[in-house]
Structure 1
Amino acid sequence: MTTAVPLMARIGIDVGGTFTDLVAAVPERGLVVHHKEPSTPADPSRAVADGLAAILAQAGLRPEEIGGITHGTTIGLNAIIQRRGARIALVVTEGYRDILEIGRSRMPSSFDLYAGKEEPLVPRDRIVEISARLGPGGVPVAEPDAPELDRVAARLRAIGADAAAVLVLHGYTDPDFEEGVAAGLRARLPELPLMASATVWPEVREYERALVACLNAYIQPLMRDYFGRLESRVRALGVPAPIFISASNGGSMSLRSAAERPIETVLSGPAAGVAAAARLGMGAIVTFDMGGTSSDIAVTVNGSPELATHTTVGGLPLIVPVVAVSAIGAGGGSVVRVDDQGVLKVGPESVGAEPGPVAYGRGGDRPAVTDCYLATGLIDPATFLGGRMRLDADAAGKSLADLATRLGSAGDGAAEEAAHRVASGALRVATAGMATELQKIMAQRGLDPRLFTLVPFGGAGPTHAAMLAEEVGITHIVVPPTAATFCALGAAGADLRRDFARSLRRRLDPTSAARLADILGELSGQARAWLTEQSAAAAGSSLSYSADMRYSGQAYELRVALDPGRFEVAAISEAFHAEHERLYGFRDQHAPIELGTARLGVVGPVAELPSAAVRPGTGRPTPHGRRQVLLDGAWHAADVHLRTTLGVGDAFDGPAIVEQDDTTVVVPPGWSGDVDGAGNLHLHRKA
């Protein structure tokens, strides 16, 4: 394998709807620097370039001292949600033209007879049938000849698609067959990006596999164009370092891999933050990433992020592995409004970066959660973003007072008091929505939130964390030093990682066990070749093996970890029985076991990032000041501490506010705070 670029400074970038976050980590100097740059939605690469130039100056780095840049982006995700991707076509086995229309033949809602179906990603007139088919065992049933390939190519040319995908029935059993069909079409249409579904993700279930391939084709032209602009802007700054893209599984991949398989990056931003939180070593944690547009919640039980193999993006099922993150439409930019029934609501609509909350003074006239923080005294208009962006508290208060008029409560007091009531109520509404989502996640896993530690990050996460913790019964909160740019920090330290899969769909016996071992061996070879393509050194890389299994007749499968080199029937059976017993309390030694999908994960670790240097504290820090804050309907005089002045061992009681240049930590009455040796701020609910 090739030698990795020597690690000097590593830059992590996370592009959000409101701000673009950057972190520069320099292990040789023990230095961690962070920066927030207002996002530029029309061309996100411009904010990346501006922020990169700013953080280089801030950290005192020359462009050639950067060893690697890892960038997380939601461009692909937003394109899917907003249906703004490329004009694509789909080539399918003859007789399966309606595969996207039929889907799983399920109603969108069992309780709403008028609920509309999600529009198919590819209209029926852009779906072309081809005489190519495999049997369930992988034996070809129909193979396209040259005239058939000519006919399909001519039809694709007439459609005028920007990209296309190929799906052959049972293509997962022999990905080379489906790839051969795609290669035949590429030879006739060299200008058309065209990818086989089994090459993207060779897992059983034709509908879901078709969607993975189509989604990949749907965002590929857009992502390639963006990656090209990104690389040009970075190189224009004189930075020669390789560029990596954060992946949805919490790892990263090279720019070239991301351009070929952009579907693996659509949930990259939230995943990077969860991976970084897991590295804090706090055990069982709940991560709470609250940005400008949404809040992302994830649960980590055993010290590593939980991966989901099935999720939903823009109403469409996605079966590639992603860090299990649940998002709700409540962020700092979420709109506070009164609905037609006179009820106070928060989100899911966001004011975004432009014009932003009313307090930004950029022409926004709809109050947002950030305006509520301002009206309740939780954030200081003069110290927002370290004083680089002064907020207009009067405008925020007036917009909230206008909402009070719509609620019919303006007459109960002065306009300022009415604005305070609306702001406090809106924060309670937002908290209730977050708590409901978190409690649902925990209940589905049989977990008690009171046994978990809350790790908040994002610009608004530390501000709202204690409110959420109070609502769900969590008594311990850990706020990292770079909480507001934590996803960018996670990107900077993200290991190279990719997941591979191949479905078997066979009953477990000596023959299928041998086949499982062969497939895992093939996937191991693909994984090592992939690491080589990423310019990653072999030293320290690791492989993990697992398989989806079930008792015969069960509707769902369990993912079961397998010991390397132990792929005989007895070892595989015992691994499945033990996992089934752990989850459901029983095992059935006599029931046949079915193998579903073989899975392999490969990790190429990067060097550890340095921890921020934290000086010893005095034990009882002197407050920087005091101000009135409105918490849970009552005003309190809160001590104000600066995060930069807090040292190791410092402790204080709430009510208190801890200000740093990119976020604000709220410590309510009944809570205490202290700083550990790594600079993490621990908040504890008093008994």
Structure 2
Amino acid sequence: MTTAVPLMARIGIDVGGTFTDLVAAVPERGLVVHHKEPSTPADPSRAVADGLAAILAQADLRPEEIGGITHGTTIGLNAIIQRRGARIALVVTEGYRDILEIGRSRMPSSFDLYAGKEEPLVPRDRIVEISARLGPGGVPVAEPDAPELDRVAARLRAIGADAAAVLVLHGYTDPDFEEGIAAGLRERLPELPLMASATVWPEVREYERALVACLNAYIQPLMRDYFGRLESRVRALGVPAPIFISASNGGSMSLRSAAERPIETVLSGPAAGVAAAARLGMGAIVTFDMGGTSSDIAVTVNGSPELATHTTVGGLPLIVPVVAVSAIGAGGGSVVRVDDQGVLKVGPESVGAEPGPVAYGRGGDRPAVTDCYLATGLIDPATFLGGRMRLDADAAAKSLADLATRLSSEGDGADRVAAGALRVATAGMATELQKIMAQRGLDPRLFTLVPFGGAGPTHAAMLAEEVGITHIVVPPTAATFCALGAAGADLRRDFARSLRRRLDPASAARLADVLGELSGQARAWLAEQSATGAASSLSYSADMRYSGQAYELRVALDPGRFEVEAISEAFHAEHERLYGFRDQHAPIELGTARLGVVGPVADLPSATVPPGTGRPAPHGRRQVLLAGAWHAADVHLRTALGVGDAFDGPAIVEQDDTTVVVPPGWSGDVDGAGNLHLHRKA
């Protein structure tokens, strides 16, 4: 008698403002199932539970057959943007009470003398000074005694904060010093969540490090409450599997780690989609995630998403590593308008899901990009969302015709205004993409474009033609791609420690010691993530610069080769690649040592697609406005396309969650994994 091997299905979840996307991947069956559940903004965990029950039934899975659930959430991000986090306090070195008020002493806008200053995350009356300070070399200059800790604890108790953070000048040089102060305060205030900044992120620059610690404390009570509700609802369904949370670096972490360090999850949504695209194995790619409000663009080289160590969240700088995603205000809901000078503009304002574009018929009276897709024939109003939501093409055309009367040119109808608006939106996307590529010294013509999101495949060819990309790959489940990315997200965390030393044999040895310490922390973290048996991999890098330069370069380092010659050559080579020259005689400064650890999960199965006929018969034909002219385009159904099928543009490929546009001069074909490849003819 043989015992059946238990299934180890993985569930990926991506919570959006309108829909909660779920993907169930069952490698043993070669099965990938996707489901959309209406979101419940008042309590997102309810939609997650309802969607989880639905997808279990759809995939014919028992609760105990789930091996892991990975969930992406924007709760922390929204709390920061809307300033709806916890009431927090900050403990700082004596004399630095104004650290958040002063910031970097930069104006919000160099050209607007009346621009208002960003409100500090922690008001000055909730910032408490403490007699504690380290020197630049890590030697204590002032250390608090028991009465001093009693005084600070009493002040924190009087403030009535929900959480607090501790920041000591030069705390990054010795994280244990700052953590010792935090531990002493926790003994006196056991009910108060309290985190040391150097424990959260031990990197130089006190203002940015203070913000990381404060933001972590700001969203921690909210996130812990949500994670508790989420786990209760999942367990109520009888699912015993571990729950993971998508991270901003494209990986994932356990529920416990996410509750301790929620700041590392705030940008997890876009990151999961980029990570999924990297696993397609297409080499150098540009991801294009176009939703209702914005378009997110990211670059992946050598199969790994590009990480940024500096970004902004809600107008505040954030220095933890995140997948480098650039957003522009051009999505399916972006408003099309004519400004006071008679110029056609698109975005950044969006009509949102309610009332939505005019074609939704929910009371919206301002045309959006989706209305332009209808007016140019790119979207069929009868098949939107698989026919579950019928659009009003006449209303869309009328709203665009009203704009035509306000344009300075004559003879423009609704269709020409729509085509012009799509060109304007495309130009904005192309400008952002070309800027990203130029900053990295990359040529977009050598990259493959991977579009996803509801509108990404519809707009992809327009963007590709604008920047010179000749190859597009549309995944089978493009509209739920971020949920698929969450399902296959590897366990990942980044570690850092600032050094701030000139490169010489002594500092190189110190760098090797620090990376060794971080390696130990990384392996210990991975062992806590319910990742028994996971084969980890470590990556090493350091921020460096020529002495006197204002900015640093992140340089990958070879494991075990931390001598001065190897480190300096790695920096020279990267500087030369980006800027075209090297300075062999200039001193090099070490900034921050960085280490990333990855614990891979099981590979997800590819979609099962039957063989095709080679030249599929179109489902129908319709008129579309592309490249300034109307064309009769073949309409294909994605579900009817098989492996090896090929066709020429102009064509439209419809699926239940998006529409793929194939312009004239392009061709399409389907590979063995069900991906739709679009190629621009020479």
TM-score normalized with structure 1 length: 0.95
How far off its partner does 1:236 sit? 2.7
The percent of aligned pairs where both chains have the same amino acid is 97
SS at match of 2:494: strand
Q: CA 1:403–1:88 in 2, change beyond 3 Å: closer, same or farther? A: farther
Q: CA 1:98–1:677 in 2, change beyond 3 Å: closer, same or farther? A: same
State the match for 2:436 in structure 1.
441
How far off its partner does 1:28 sit? 0.4
How far off its partner does 1:504 sit? 1.1
How far off its partner does 1:523 sit? 0.9
- Paired residue for 1:659, among 638, 654, 657? 654
State the match for 1:407 in structure 2.
407
Deviation digits for residues 603-647 of structure 1 (CA, Å, limit 9, x no counterpart): 000010001111111111000111122224432211110111111
Deviation digits for residues 491-526 of structure 1 (CA, Å, limit 9, x no counterpart): 111100000011111222332222222211211111
How far off its partner does 1:352 sit? 2.7
Measure the CA separation in 1 of the matches of 2:3 and 2:498. 33
How far off its partner does 1:405 sit? 5.0
Q: CA 1:38–1:394 in 2, change beyond 3 Å: closer, same or farther? A: farther
SS at match of 1:410: coil
Measure the CA separation in 2 of the matches of 1:195 and 1:590. 43
How far off its partner does 1:9 sit? 1.0
Deviation digits for residues 560-605 of structure 1 (CA, Å, limit 9, x no counterpart): 2222222233332333333333333333333332221111110000
1:511 matched to 2:506: yes
How far off its partner does 1:401 sit? 3.9
Q: CA 1:186–1:2 in 2, change beyond 3 Å: closer, same or farther? A: farther
Measure the CA separation in 1 of the matches of 2:314 and 2:330. 17
Measure the CA separation in 2 of the matches of 1:73 and 1:89. 25
Question: Quick check: 471-480 or 167-176, which moved more?
Answer: 471-480
Q: CA 1:504–1:5 in 2, change beyond 3 Å: closer, same or farther? A: farther
Deviation digits for residues 314-339 of structure 1 (CA, Å, limit 9, x no counterpart): 22111111111100111122233344
Deviation digits for residues 239-285 of structure 1 (CA, Å, limit 9, x no counterpart): 22211111111100011111111111111111111111111121221
On the 8 A contact 1:654/1:669 being kept in 2, the answer is yes
How far off its partner does 1:18 sit? 3.1
SS at match of 2:622: strand
On the 8 A contact 1:4/1:537 being kept in 2, the answer is no
Deviation digits for residues 96-141 of structure 1 (CA, Å, limit 9, x no counterpart): 1111121122233333333333222112222111111111111111
Q: CA 1:378–1:616 in 2, change beyond 3 Å: closer, same or farther? A: same
Deviation digits for residues 44-103 of structure 1 (CA, Å, limit 9, x no counterpart): 223322322222222222222211111112222222222222222111101111111211
SS at match of 1:407: coil
Q: CA 1:407–1:551 in 2, change beyond 3 Å: closer, same or farther? A: closer
On the 8 A contact 1:32/1:611 being kept in 2, the answer is yes
On the 8 A contact 1:3/1:537 being kept in 2, the answer is no
Q: CA 1:342–1:23 in 2, change beyond 3 Å: closer, same or farther? A: same
Measure the CA separation in 1 of the matches of 2:423 and 2:357. 18
Q: CA 1:218–1:273 in 2, change beyond 3 Å: closer, same or farther? A: same
Q: CA 1:232–1:168 in 2, change beyond 3 Å: closer, same or farther? A: same
How far off its partner does 1:459 sit? 0.9
Deviation digits for residues 391-427 of structure 1 (CA, Å, limit 9, x no counterpart): 33334334434444555889976xxxxx333332322
Within 5 Å, which residues of 2 pair with 1:128-167? Answer: 128-167=128-167
Deviation digits for residues 349-398 of structure 1 (CA, Å, limit 9, x no counterpart): 22333333333334444332222222322122222222233333334334
Measure the CA separation in 2 of the matches of 1:630 and 1:237. 49
State the match for 2:386 in structure 1.
386
Measure the CA separation in 2 of the matches of 1:391 and 1:134. 64
On the 8 A contact 2:430/2:467 being kept in 1, the answer is yes
SS at match of 1:630: strand
Q: CA 1:672–1:512 in 2, change beyond 3 Å: closer, same or farther? A: same
SS at match of 1:341: coil
Q: CA 1:224–1:394 in 2, change beyond 3 Å: closer, same or farther? A: farther
Gaps of 5+ in 2: none
SS at match of 1:108: coil
Measure the CA separation in 2 of the matches of 1:227 and 1:392. 40
On the 8 A contact 1:18/1:293 being kept in 2, the answer is no
On the 8 A contact 1:246/1:265 being kept in 2, the answer is yes
Q: CA 1:23–1:260 in 2, change beyond 3 Å: closer, same or farther? A: same
SS at match of 2:613: coil
SS at match of 1:618: coil
On the 8 A contact 1:64/1:238 being kept in 2, the answer is yes
Q: CA 1:53–1:351 in 2, change beyond 3 Å: closer, same or farther? A: farther
On the 8 A contact 1:7/1:68 being kept in 2, the answer is no
Q: Aligned residues, how many?
A: 682
SS at match of 2:304: coil
How far off its partner does 1:534 sit? 0.4
SS at match of 1:3: coil
On the 8 A contact 2:7/2:28 being kept in 1, the answer is no
On the 8 A contact 1:614/1:677 being kept in 2, the answer is yes
SS at match of 1:635: strand
Q: CA 1:247–1:504 in 2, change beyond 3 Å: closer, same or farther? A: same
Measure the CA separation in 2 of the matches of 1:33 and 1:540. 27
Q: CA 1:411–1:631 in 2, change beyond 3 Å: closer, same or farther? A: closer
On the 8 A contact 1:17/1:293 being kept in 2, the answer is no
SS at match of 2:116: coil
Measure the CA separation in 2 of the matches of 1:545 and 1:443. 25
On the 8 A contact 1:476/1:682 being kept in 2, the answer is yes
- Paired residue for 2:515, among 494, 511, 520? 520
On the 8 A contact 1:19/1:353 being kept in 2, the answer is no
Measure the CA separation in 2 of the matches of 1:55 and 1:354. 27
On the 8 A contact 2:440/2:578 being kept in 1, the answer is no
Measure the CA separation in 2 of the matches of 1:603 and 1:623. 45
Q: CA 1:234–1:422 in 2, change beyond 3 Å: closer, same or farther? A: farther
On the 8 A contact 2:534/2:601 being kept in 1, the answer is no
